[in-house]
Amino acid sequence: MLAGTFPAVKAAAYMVPLCPFPSRQRENLVAAAAMCVQHMQKALTEMNIQLANVISDISGTTGMAILRDIVRGERDPEKLARHKLARIRASHQEIARSLEGTWREELLFVVGQSLELYDTYQEKIQLCDQRIDEHLHRMEAKVDPASDPIPEPTRRGKGSRPRQPHFDLRGHLYRITGVDLTQIDSIDVRIAQTAAGSYSGPEVRWGKLGVPVRVCRFRPGDGLTAPKAILP
């Protein structure tokens, strides 16, 4: 006889509303896209193209523009460096010098194929974002952002990145939960979604601002951590 097992499906159902299946699929796609970036980076390094030494993220706007021009056949470092955006700290000359390497056809082929796969994963990520956005739109709201607007963000965003959603996830979470968890230090919108989804369910007691007090025992903005400060 087999021992009784934990009913994982029922337990997981508590986190389905705020963390629907496309969210898990999205994370898989983001990881796959990051692997493509690593493959491109490795191929560039083997050609002595040290672009990563002057641009911290080659999957950003400047890096991807340079990579696309390389795949199209451009080899002139000066022309490639013209894609530099103003916010890049490295100078035009530094970027151009980092692009002086030994071009090898077999490695350029790797860069080209990895870039194609990266673009495919980005398309699939946007489809996941669309499904998640539609799902969250249908969920019941705890607050009306029109009468009770979302607080100003505590930190400045760093622009569009593959891990960041292509829709207003922060606004959705605030409307649904009644609290902006991103006001807490070190919690971005993706962590906030996971936290809110993981601690949803009838067995969780929520504090005044919507934080699961049984687990977190704190809320943004009050500077308190003692359980007695927020328990109902």
- Other beta carbons within 10 angstroms of residue 100's beta carbon come to 10
Least confident of 42-46, 126-130, 224-228: 224-228
Percent of the chain at pLDDT above 90?
A: 40
Which residues, in sequence order, are CB contacts of 54 under 8 Å at separation 6+?
Answer: 88, 90, 94, 95, 98
The crossing angle, in degrees rounded to 10, of helices 105-137 and 169-177 is 30
Name the band, by pLDDT with cuts 50, 70 and 90, for residue 220.
low
In this prediction, residues 203-222 reach a mean pLDDT of 47
In this prediction, residues 52-58 reach a mean pLDDT of 91
For residues 108 and 145, give the distance between their C-alpha atoms in angstroms, rounded to a whole number: 50
If we measure between CA atoms, which residue out of 162, 159, 190 comes closest to residue 59? 162
Name the band, by pLDDT with cuts 50, 70 and 90, for residue 169.
confident
In this prediction, residues 165-194 reach a mean pLDDT of 78
Residue-averaged pLDDT of the chain: 77
In this prediction, residues 154-176 reach a mean pLDDT of 69
In this prediction, residues 44-66 reach a mean pLDDT of 93
In this prediction, residues 20-34 reach a mean pLDDT of 84
pLDDT of residue 229: 38
pLDDT of residue 178: 79
Residue 223 scores a pLDDT above 90: no
Instruction: Please state the φ and ψ torsions of residue 119, each to the nearest 5 degrees.
Output: -65, -40
Percent of the chain at pLDDT above 70?
A: 71
Two structure tokens written together for 15: 């986190």
Q: Bigger pLDDT: 2 or 99?
A: 99
pLDDT of residue 231: 39
pLDDT of residue 209: 44
Residue 66 scores a pLDDT above 80: yes
- Other beta carbons within 10 angstroms of residue 145's beta carbon come to 12
Q: Bigger pLDDT: 163 or 151?
A: 151
Residue 190 scores a pLDDT above 70: yes
